[in-house]
Chain A
């Protein structure tokens, strides 16, 4: 009995030592082979899977690469393209790159990739399985929550779209009325002026000043009637501004070049900025973005890009813009009827007053009309911008069933360390760190 024990002990030692000396040849020649493939390797002569070569059973996992595709060495590191299969009972099985076999690092949770005795790997599959299960469960929960949320969003989006569409058609109707009235008022105004001239022709020696004044004022509505031109002119001014900027830019750069006359700190910062690109490059980038938006961007983006010009938070500005719109529509929607009526009322009032042929009254009326006229043109442009932004909005792709519709005006903020990430889904994404702000594109 004793003898047998000691013999067993001896053979145990022998096994261990032989294992160590034979370095990385596995004792089980089927190591690293997935169960479904085992039959493939049970022949005497085995083909490389890519058909390039044949090898004998003895060459399977003999720690020498015979097949360029690694077929013959699934369980060793000999073939660079080999894949090692870990059973990982208690968790999911996995394949490893052959580079992980016997590299001293435990990769499989069952530790089967480290069999040369250099490291001892703990069996961690049960723990790993549990963790994986937990996280899977959590994932499912999150997904389910998400499905509910999505359905809510879809419902809300449907209603919101219907509301916005109704609003759009209502706004379009309003626009028609306002345009008609503006037309009408313009006509009235011209008629009034004609009448004034007629009255004035008799006492030739009237105040030149007043005349001038009227003429000056007259140009006001005339110009406004020509609304179409206005945005173009504005952008012209922009362009001129830009054109004017380049030489000054140049000057600035000239200054950089000479660098004399800079304070020591300024010089330090200037040279530093070449590497960091913080000042000069950002400016250039901003300009580039501006131009993009100016030239090709949607109308709605136009105002924003101007805001960007000032280098301040465009998201904040945008938000305010949206709120303004909402505010005005909040006010106008209930009282909408009344102001439409008012237009018609005033128009009629004027019609009546026009019949009185005294100069002071006419002048008074002219002023009044001008005032009202200005008021309505402002109204009109407001209406137009609301119409265009609504149409823009409705044009976007909001995904299946318009589930992202309500994201249009929303922004999401994520604070991570010192940065605040702000994503406005249909607008822009930024990264702020208190001082500077980076457009993330």
Chain B
């Protein structure tokens, strides 16, 4: 017996060893990455470039960057670089630096295409003139200054060159580039005879035919105490320093889209997606942002205070500051400075460049049930009926890779799924949808029409020798369509038509996985950097955007399929800046442990902050078997993720919500139902994101910008401006410390109990729910009827929950449309504003809406209202409604604790007033 245990433990040990040991050395650390290692060795002030020929042309401030004192040996560096500064509406400055195309560089450097939206150019402000000023104490002295926006200026210092944004008055800086002189731009050049440009890593050789071409520079944020953003990393929300005093493990944040098996929960290593956008925030309550449009491998250091102690460069000292160092393997400098000043302003400014998040279909904001794999049609039917049997709502059932015929996407396993259309129709009859997986690797099988078509047309990415790149993924030997090419994207999009995708129906939507791209036998489990795309672009130059282009092409396919009338739903694992325009993302293959539950919050917050608002983590954790308690806690938290899906690896035990005993089923049902009651609120928030970019799930400081205690809090988050949610991240928790920001009170969502704002509350925790509160002064619309799916809720009446602030006032909004089409773009929506003050609740329109709904408001709940009144008068009908005490929530035995206006019966689409008598 003992022997057995020992042997088994030994095996486990071996297994765990291999899991943890290979991971690190399978991926390149900075010091194994020559450009990163080189860049990190640079000393402050090493850049000697000065701005020359500064002038205004084509509405831009332009200059040439040339070395101040060219070294004789360093012939390559003396070609001047072109610099241009452009300004755009709403406080955006764009700085571009590239090689001068008129000087015949060996190759045109890659500029990331199709990320900046076309409307952005229409917001350009044409500069007429620049003023020149001398900054005292500077011997070089000259700077060119241009208007940026009200109260802000863009400044180009000539010698040494530095670009920054400052406040007009008082000379307070906002964001600057090259203030520490770390700028370096490796120009393309001809190989010298004794040079070896090849790079080898774990048996893979990168031919690097164009040699070194990296770019690095320092960016400083002023008035800043924390920086955030640059997803995707499984790490804290406020980015910890990666270099300088007090930093032990010195590894920069890496942006390189990779399929990392069992990623660690606390690591700066790059995972599935990249958005090179950083946001800074400080005590002043002000935020600023910086975005580098570059899709090559990037490494970013957040520098600890005092990192430049020996640098000898004088920086303005009156402002707190965070310095960062950005390195990229290739591409150009195409950067955007955002002045803020509010956190929401920064997000708005960023999405005005990369696009607003798509408006999702209503169904996709409900609960999704996924597993690798629902085996066959019978399994699907069984799971579907179990949801009904247990009265648990859900909207979408997912099929992973095993549903296909030998991992040939767009096909079905004939044995397991002989009647895919009928299967989808059965789900659709209950208002439910299905999602199937379509990955970018195409099986190299001559009898597979997609492969035949793609190879005949030459649509695959090529290897360094010009042959179709042949990698290994689920189907075995596979090739990858070149999604950089718009022609290939539209070819791909055609594949989603009902004719081409045999067995698809209008209720079928798509999941894009493995689009980093994941290549099992490639370097770092991805495509070789010297693989070639259209126009001779090397994979290294666009790697981080490959998944983005793939996601884009798939979303376009669904749009085409529905004649441009049906909003696509596409979930992607890889992403880049701009992916928010095409659908949702999730945080990939997480693990069923408490740490991963915990880290999902900063990950989702970071995605939202950088524009990618429709995101979530796999509920339950992909790898491993969660304890029932962990699973329940995950449902309770996941119900507030913008994207709410349960998913599991095929080696795990089944974990649908009804498999863990009655009590746990009830708890999970309750968690999912909370999401469904809040769908009107979520949908309203998705609309807010769709028009402003402000994310559905927000950090506390986005709503309370001056509340310092909130700056590094990533245990709790805001859902919209009204709800605060904090997960429970430990087993058998009895208490939780919850910080409630601001001056107003907060009402417990379950009990209605009021808690004071601006302090940490030690709360008792039950298994029934995680701490969640409504902020005083807000109104949250709900639908309290339980249904099979969101589809059946369309006609159900609303409940308004009014949390009154200290002056007995509150306000909130409700957005409604058909949940599917683009008619809302032509005004087919209802957008109401509810205001409660002086004992009157009024509903008034926001904008001009032309959408009808027979939905009424069945109940108005008042939190923080002194009971006493017995009736309310509804205008304009002049009908009376009773006021009584009622429960705050339904679906269990909840005590009657809340003042409730019973059946006011007003229609959501109309103007009305309810007066408490």
Contact = CB atoms under 8 A, between A and B. Distances in A.
Interface string B484-504: 000000000000000000000
B11 A264 contact: no
Contacts of B171: none
A283 to B, nearest CB: 10
A142 interface: no
A272 B788 contact: no
Contacts of B11: 284, 287-288
Contacts of A118: 795
Interface string A260-271: 111011011111
A265 B444 CA distance: 13
A64 B859 contact: yes
B707 to A, nearest CB: 37
A99 B785 contact: yes
Interface stretch (A77-85, A187-195, A322-330, A368-376): A77-85
B893 A68 contact: yes
A417 B3 contact: no
B520 A256 contact: no
A417 B377 CA distance: 12
Contacts of B10: 246
B521 A271 contact: yes
A249 B203 contact: no
A253 B17 CA distance: 10
Given A68-B893, A288-B11, A271 B429 contact: no
A424 B265 CA distance: 44
A257 B787 contact: no
Given A64-B859, A105-B429, A271-B525, A288 B8 contact: yes
Nearest to A21: B854
B391 A77 contact: no
A99 to B, nearest CB: 4
A260 B4 contact: no
Given A97-B391, A256-B18, A257-B21, A272 B474 contact: yes
Given A259-B202, A291-B7, A295-B1, A268 B902 contact: no
Contacts of A274: 261
A13 to B, nearest CB: 19
A267 B521 contact: yes
Contacts of B4: 291-292, 295-296
B878 interface: no
Contacts of B18: 253, 256-257
B854 to A, nearest CB: 7
Contacts of A257: 18, 21-22, 25
A7 B393 CA distance: 46
B880 interface: no
B787 A103 contact: yes
A68 B890 contact: yes
A65 B525 contact: no
A80 B786 contact: yes
B796 interface: yes
A265 B521 contact: yes
Given A79-B890, A268-B471, A99 B786 contact: yes
A250 interface: yes
Nearest to B470: A264
A269 B415 contact: no
A260 B22 CA distance: 13
Contact of A64 (B673, B786, B902): B902
A268 B784 CA distance: 51
Nearest to A102: B795
A174 interface: no
B387 to A, nearest CB: 11
A98 interface: yes
Contacts of B520: 267-272
Given A105-B430, A105-B792, A257-B22, A295 B3 contact: yes
A104 interface: yes
Contacts of B589: 275
A267 B261 contact: no
B376 interface: yes
B391 A99 contact: yes
Contact of A256 (B8, B22, B856, B893): B22
B891 interface: yes
A268 B472 contact: yes
B261 A272 contact: no
A69 interface: yes
B159 to A, nearest CB: 50
B472 A99 contact: no
Nearest to A80: B891
B15 interface: yes
A68 B894 contact: yes
Given A80-B890, A264-B472, A268-B520, A417 B376 contact: yes
B416 interface: yes
A23 interface: yes
Interface string A231-256: 00000000100100010011001001
A410 interface: no
Nearest to A294: B4
Interface string A357-372: 0000000000000000
Given A69-B893, A246-B10, A249-B14, 11 more contacts: A23-B854, A52-B893, A78-B785, A257-B22, A259-B203, A275-B649, A280-B15, A284-B15, A288-B11, A296-B1, A417-B415
26 contacts: A23-B795, A23-B856, A50-B893, A62-B903, A64-B859, A64-B902, A77-B786, A78-B785, A97-B391, A99-B787, A99-B792, A103-B788, A104-B431, A105-B431, A105-B788, A105-B792, A118-B795, A239-B3, A267-B203, A268-B520, A271-B261, A271-B525, A272-B474, A275-B261, A276-B650, A291-B4
When A and B form their complex, which 3 residue pairs have the shortest distance between CB atoms, in order from nearest? A268-B472, A268-B521, A260-B203
